[in-house]
A and B are shown apart, each in its own frame.
Chain A
Amino acid sequence: MSAPSRIGEVMALDRLVHEPARLLILAVLANAKEVEFGFLEQVSGLSKGNLSSHMSKLEAGGLIEVKKSFRGKRPLTELRITAAGRKALADYRQSLAMVMQELPVPGAAVKRK
Chain B
Amino acid sequence: MAGETQERLGELESLTRDYARYSRSAGGLASALGGTFCLLSYLLGGLLPLTSMLRVALVALPLVWLLARWGMTQRYYQRFGHVEEQESAVERRTHRLGLGVTLAVAVLLTASALSNGAQLSPGMAGYLALVWLLVLAVWRWLRSPLDFVVSAFLFCQASLLCVDQVYPVIGTAAAHDALPMALLALLFPLAALLMIARGVADHRRFLHLRERLLQLRGNAVGEA
Residues of A within 8 A of B (CB): 20, 23-24, 27-28, 30-47, 78, 96, 100
Contact = CB atoms under 8 A, between A and B. Distances in A.
A33 B87 contact: yes
Interface in B39-94: 80-87
Given A34-B83, A35-B83, A43-B213, A20 B20 contact: no
A7 B37 CA distance: 64
- The size class of the interface chain B forms with chain A is 20 to 34
A32 B81 contact: no
Interface stretch (B11-19, B112-120, B144-152, B176-184): B11-19
Contacts of B211: none
Contacts of B19: 39
Contacts, number: 75
B221 to A, nearest CB: 8
A35 B9 contact: no
B86 A31 contact: yes
Contact of A96 (B1, B16, B86, B223): B1
Overall SS of chain B's interface: helix
Given A38-B80, A96-B1, 18 more contacts: A20-B1, A24-B8, A24-B9, A27-B9, A27-B12, A28-B12, A31-B20, A33-B85, A33-B86, A36-B81, A38-B81, A39-B81, A43-B12, A43-B15, A44-B220, A45-B224, A47-B224, A78-B82
A42 to B, nearest CB: 5
B217 interface: yes
